[in-house]
Amino acid sequence: MLKPIIAALLLVASAPAAFAQAAPQAPAAHPVFTLDALPYATNALVPVIDKETMELHHGRHHRAYVDNLNKAVGSDPALKALSLEQLMARVSALPKAIRDNGGGHWNHRFFWGLMAPEGQRGQPSARLTAAIEKQWGSLNAFKAAFQQAGTSRFGSGWAWLILKEDGTLAVISTPNQDNPLMDLAPVKGQPILANDVWEHAYYLNYRNRRGDYLAKWWDVVNWSRVNALHDEAVALNR
Ligand code: MN3
- For 67, the domain range is 51-113
Mean pLDDT, rounded, for 34-40 = 97
100 in any annotated domain:
yes
- pLDDT classification of 75: cutoffs 50, 70, 90: confident
Residue 231 C-alpha to ligand 1 middle, in angstroms? 26
Residue 200 C-alpha to ligand 1 middle, in angstroms? 6
Is the same domain home to 105 and 135? Answer: no
Is the same domain home to 205 and 230? Answer: yes
43 in any annotated domain:
no
Angle at 145 between CA 141 and CA 150, to 5 degrees: 145
Is the same domain home to 148 and 98? Answer: no
Residue 125 C-alpha to ligand 1 middle, in angstroms? 27
156 in any annotated domain:
yes
Residue 198 C-alpha to ligand 1 middle, in angstroms? 6
Q: What is the pLDDT of residue 3?
A: 46
- pLDDT classification of 188: cutoffs 50, 70, 90: very high
72 in any annotated domain:
yes
Is the same domain home to 228 and 152? Answer: yes
Q: What is the pLDDT of residue 16?
A: 41
Does position 12 have pLDDT exceeding 90, yes or no? Answer: no
Is the same domain home to 141 and 204? Answer: yes
Is the same domain home to 150 and 220? Answer: yes
User: Structurally, how many domains does the chain consist of?
Assistant: 2
Q: Report the CATH number at residue 66.
A: 1.10.287.990
Residue 51 C-alpha to ligand 1 middle, in angstroms? 15
Residue 176 C-alpha to ligand 1 middle, in angstroms? 10
Q: For residues 229 and 5, which has the higher predicted lDDT (pLDDT)?
A: 229
Nearest to 225 by CA among 185, 181, 193, 190: 193
Residue 86 C-alpha to ligand 1 middle, in angstroms? 22
Residue 67 C-alpha to ligand 1 middle, in angstroms? 15
Q: Which amino acid is at 48?
A: V
pLDDT over 90 percentage in the chain? 83
CA gap 62, 132 in Å, rounded: 30
Q: What is the pLDDT of residue 33?
A: 96
Mean pLDDT, rounded, for 76-86 = 92
CA gap 121, 129 in Å, rounded: 15
Domain boundary among 66, 90, 113: 113
Does position 28 have pLDDT exceeding 70, yes or no? Answer: no
- pLDDT classification of 30: cutoffs 50, 70, 90: low
**Per-residue model confidence as pLDDT tens digits over 110-158:** 999 999 999 999 999 999 999 999 999 999 999 999 999 999 999 999 9
Residue 158 C-alpha to ligand 1 middle, in angstroms? 9
Q: What is the pLDDT of residue 9?
A: 41
Residue 132 C-alpha to ligand 1 middle, in angstroms? 26
Is the same domain home to 186 and 105? Answer: no
Angle at 171 between CA 169 and CA 174, to 5 degrees: 130
pLDDT over 70 percentage in the chain? 87
CA gap 211, 84 in Å, rounded: 31
CA gap 232, 235 in Å, rounded: 5
Is the same domain home to 142 and 232? Answer: yes
Cβ-Cβ contacts under 8 Å for 231 (sequence gap 6 or more): 125, 127
Is the same domain home to 60 and 108? Answer: yes
13 in any annotated domain:
no
Residue 130 C-alpha to ligand 1 middle, in angstroms? 30
Average pLDDT, the chain: 90
Residue 32 C-alpha to ligand 1 middle, in angstroms? 21
Residue 156 C-alpha to ligand 1 middle, in angstroms? 9
Residue 147 C-alpha to ligand 1 middle, in angstroms? 17
Does position 18 have pLDDT exceeding 70, yes or no? Answer: no
Domain boundary among 83, 113, 143: 113
Is the same domain home to 108 and 145? Answer: no
Is the same domain home to 133 and 233? Answer: yes
Is the same domain home to 133 and 229? Answer: yes
CA gap 145, 184 in Å, rounded: 23
Mean pLDDT, rounded, for 39-57 = 98
Residue 80 C-alpha to ligand 1 middle, in angstroms? 24
